[in-house]
A and B are shown apart, each in its own frame.
Chain A
Amino acid sequence: GAVVSQHPSWVICKSGTSVKIECRSLDFQATTMFWYRQFPKQSLMLMATSNEGSKATYEQGVEKDKFLINHASLTLSTLTVTSAHPEDSSFYICSASHPVGGYEQYFGPGTRLTVT
């Protein structure tokens, strides 16, 4: 149990275009999901907290107009990178907070974004 999926697993897009990444909790409902970004040889950096039915909370330094987050249901959150640039190339990882027990976070496999 406690499986989180992401789609796509990798994507290449041209500079200036937008890319949408989906995060789904497959076998549990998650009122809270989180989005992280990871650059090569670095640790995960929290970008935003996504709550079902409400606006996301962004970490300091993360542009909310550039990284649009929508959490429309208890099993789906989406991250849209708008007007992507090469510096947005990174590994994007989502996680979902399991509502039973210790609210452990379960992570998706990640999405590799390359902007050319």
Chain B
Amino acid sequence: DAKTTQPPSMDCAEGRAANLPCNHSTISGNEYVYWYRQIHSQGPQYIIHGLKNNETNEMASLIITEDRKSSTLILPHATLRDTAVYYCIVRVSQAGTALIFGKGTTLSVSS
């Protein structure tokens, strides 16, 4: 069973920030929040992950609520190439632990 809940789809205008929410109310203390995206007919791409602090890299920012029950992935300036399915996944950070994918959010960026 999926441990996360995401809206099935979202729209965003090119150049605007895309804020993708994720609920993970049953997250355990040792589980991280990972975000991946999959562009059509390609393998998933790692975006970012975090435990409890907010994180930022060259692709996105991850905001995790203080109670860790939800998070938001922020793409600061969405482009058409950001159109993809975005997956929020909770997982312990161990070598042999697989990512289990839910249905994700289909983000459509339009001009």
Interface positions of A (Cβ within 8 A of B): 2, 4, 6, 31-32, 34, 36, 43-46, 49, 51, 91, 93, 95, 97, 99, 102-110, 112
Q: Are A51 and B96 in contact (CB under 8 A)?
A: yes
A99 pairs with B95, CB closer than 8 A: yes
Chain B: residues with Cβ within 8 Å of the partner, total of 24
Tell me the smallest distance from the CB of B84 to a CB of chain A, in Å.
Answer: 13
The answer to whether B111 has its CB under 8 Å from any CB of chain A is no
CA distance A108 to B46 in the complex (A): 11
Which A residues are CB-close (under 8 A) to B49?
Answer: 102, 104
**Which of chain A's residues has its CB closest to B46's CB?**
A104
Which of B43, B93, B96 is in CB contact (< 8 Å) with A107?
B43
Q: Could you list some 27 contacts between A and B, CB below 8 A? A: A2-B46, A34-B99, A36-B101, A43-B87, A43-B101, A43-B102, A43-B104, A44-B38, A44-B44, A46-B98, A46-B100, A91-B41, A93-B43, A93-B44, A95-B43, A95-B44, A102-B49, A102-B93, A104-B46, A104-B49, A105-B98, A107-B43, A108-B43, A109-B42, A110-B41, A110-B42, A112-B41
Q: In the complex, which residues of chain A have a beta carbon less than 8 angstroms from the beta carbon of B87?
A: 43
Contact of A49 with B98 at beta-carbon distance under 8 Å, contacts A43-B104, A103-B93, A104-B34 already known: yes
Q: Which of A4, A103, A108 is close to B97, meaning CB atoms less than 8 Å apart?
A: A103
Q: Does chain A have a CB within 8 A of B45?
A: yes
Contact with A along B14-43 (1 / 0, CB 8 A): 000000000000000000101010100111
Instruction: Report chain A residues within 8 Å CB of B45.
Output: 107
A6 and B99 CA atoms in complex are apart in Å by 19
Which residues from chain A contact B97 at a C-beta distance below 8 Å? 103
Evaluate contact between A43 and B43: CB separation under 8 angstroms.
Answer: no
